[in-house]
Structure 1
């Protein structure tokens, strides 16, 4: 068949238009989405961070599969621990793992972070209080006021004294220069303790040089893990709190900018981190008392230790008088402990 010049041009034009439309509809190269990158700093030094946070961040980075990546920094690497809150609020750091007290958070709940004296006996008290007794909502509200997302709270270890000299009575605490948390230090001054604030990584050397007489920062698991068992000789089995309250936080704008599936993934990894610490510390606290091999155990008799416990209740009332929010939190602590006491074994006894 003979193709006319007119029909040839018509068919050619139709094919060209079709090809152009196809090209516009399915471009040959699709630009990959930019990876979301966050920087996170923990209160913990490198040795402790390997246990209390790094596994969770490694897991999140794997599961995010290139969509997001968190770079982890340890205590004081980007900013001093006492400046963590300000750096996160400004967006210099995107995410933080810390207690409220150590990072000097300007909220009404800061005093309860870390070790609130004698408020907790076991690590499970922390998630119970936050998830069943209303503390989670209070923390979320207080941090939202200052542009920070409170992601979750969890328990760490109990707070014991690790010292160079033995502590067998409350009188032995007098004059001891102790590295501890701000609120714990404020409470312990009535027993003659001299609280000392230093960068976390400097503590071991400070004990060696005599700048510190001891540490009231952790349980025995941490004392061994971070090397403090190499410079102290004694471990007091009485504790001023049965569990540390710590949290994961994020800059609110950065958090809100994340897709919902990444928010959920991050929160889930942090919850897994809380669970890991539950059993890691719980097992370590018992095992290292018996098998640690470096520290000698001492104990203040129960009848004398009761003096400190009574002082803690008075301290709670002093804190409650400072604001309505603090009063609300103290009331929850009192209600919870009363329920635990009345429930008996295994909750509260002895």
Structure 2
């Protein structure tokens, strides 16, 4: 007789999916950092201490940043320690950039649009409508098409902030509490919490973007102050518990992945020795990889097997108008600065190349 200590028979479909992914990531060595064996060294000075704040709350932060910080702290062997803070714990998310620049924070994880970074590419951070179809698109555009150079160039103009890296998060969908979306007309008047650029685009269909502190979203959904969220994909809805409140999920995706980035205070960064700088960059890459699996695997399975939300869809003919409108939105944004125009040209070039490449790219 076998003793099954990992019985999933009594779990709901979504609970089984999440448990399976946790088990896979643990077996792959991704679920939690392992301490690295290093020789004991007597140190003559105190360790470097950093404060890092993420845009994410605790339940989401466990997946998008905590593993990276834990891995770094373990591997730094006492030479450096990062204290992690979640959304709004030290400063409001809207003030993340200012707090980083003035040294209140040593490092942050966010996107430009959410934290109102004073760079002329801020509109592209987070969710830029239809900039990507799949999460690997983000890394490909940064590595092969020149977005990384443009981001570095933009932050070189900003005093005391250094940009390090951008990765992909989840796709953007609209989730609603009581009002199903089955046509563009159903967007009219919906009060939705979301990221700035996507909200700006969707407002042309009557959607009303609403900004509240991250910790207040659940209460606002329950009290009816919010009709829904346009802030994430299915994986985050389940992870954060918002899927327990929202009854409907719009299957049409506004874009394929969130552009999320890592930044450091320049003075703090320059005090870190090269080997620890490299360690920090390496754990960022580790975080990018973990998230790619966590989101990519979770999104599909939760759409198919998740039982908490009913999927709705805007008909393809209507949705084609949204895609067409996005092109005019791109051209509108391109007029904002020469650098913005260069980003839009990369989006267009990349989309064209992917269409020509065909399956499995498009």
In 1: Cα distance, 2:344 partner to 2:304 partner: 35
Contact 1:144 1:252 in 2 (8 A): no
Residue 51 of structure 2: aligned partner: 39
In 2: Cα distance, 1:309 partner to 1:202 partner: 32
In the TM superposition, residue 347 of structure 1 has moved relative to its aligned partner by: 1.3
In the TM superposition, residue 32 of structure 1 has moved relative to its aligned partner by: 2.1
In 1: Cα distance, 2:152 partner to 2:282 partner: 17
Secondary structure of the structure 2 residue equivalent to 1:202:
helix
Residue 305 of structure 1: aligned partner: 319
In the TM superposition, residue 137 of structure 1 has moved relative to its aligned partner by: 0.9
In the TM superposition, residue 300 of structure 1 has moved relative to its aligned partner by: 1.1
- 1:138 and 2:150 correspond: yes
Aligned residue pairs total 319
Residue 192 of structure 1: aligned partner: 206
From 116, 122, 126, give the equivalent of 1:114: 126
Instruction: Specify every segment of 5 or more residues in structure 1 that has no aligned partner in the other structure, as ranges.
Output: 1-29
In the TM superposition, residue 144 of structure 1 has moved relative to its aligned partner by: 2.1
- 1:156 and 2:175 correspond: no
- 1:124 and 2:136 correspond: yes
Alignment map for 1:262-301 (pairs within 5 Å): 262-301=276-315
In the TM superposition, residue 162 of structure 1 has moved relative to its aligned partner by: 0.8
Contact 1:114 1:244 in 2 (8 A): yes
Instruction: List structure 1 runs of 4+ shifted beyond 6 angstroms.
Output: none
CA deviations on 1:20-78 (whole Å, 9 max, x unpaired) are xxxxxxxxxx7622200000000000000011110110000000000000000000000
TM-score, normalisation: structure 1: 0.90
Alignment map for 1:61-140 (pairs within 5 Å): 61-140=73-152
CA deviations on 1:189-229 (whole Å, 9 max, x unpaired) are 11010000010111011011111000000000000100111
In 1: Cα distance, 2:106 partner to 2:332 partner: 35
- The structure number with the bigger radius of gyration is 1
In 2: Cα distance, 1:256 partner to 1:345 partner: 44
In 1: Cα distance, 2:58 partner to 2:286 partner: 20
Moved more, 74-83 or 288-297: 288-297
From 199, 204, 213, give the equivalent of 2:218: 204
Secondary structure of the structure 1 residue equivalent to 2:52:
strand
Moved more, 212-221 or 295-304: 295-304
CA deviations on 1:204-256 (whole Å, 9 max, x unpaired) are 11011111000000000000100111111001111111000000110111112
Residue 21 of structure 2: aligned partner: none
CA deviations on 1:73-95 (whole Å, 9 max, x unpaired) are 00000000000000000010000
Secondary structure of the structure 2 residue equivalent to 1:71:
strand
From 238, 255, 258, give the equivalent of 2:269: 255
In 2: Cα distance, 1:172 partner to 1:31 partner: 63
Residue 7 of structure 1: aligned partner: none
Instruction: Specify every segment of 5 or more residues in structure 2 that has no aligned partner in the other structure, as ranges.
Output: 1-41
In the TM superposition, residue 291 of structure 1 has moved relative to its aligned partner by: 2.2
In 1: Cα distance, 2:146 partner to 2:304 partner: 37
In the TM superposition, residue 292 of structure 1 has moved relative to its aligned partner by: 1.9
Residue 4 of structure 1: aligned partner: none
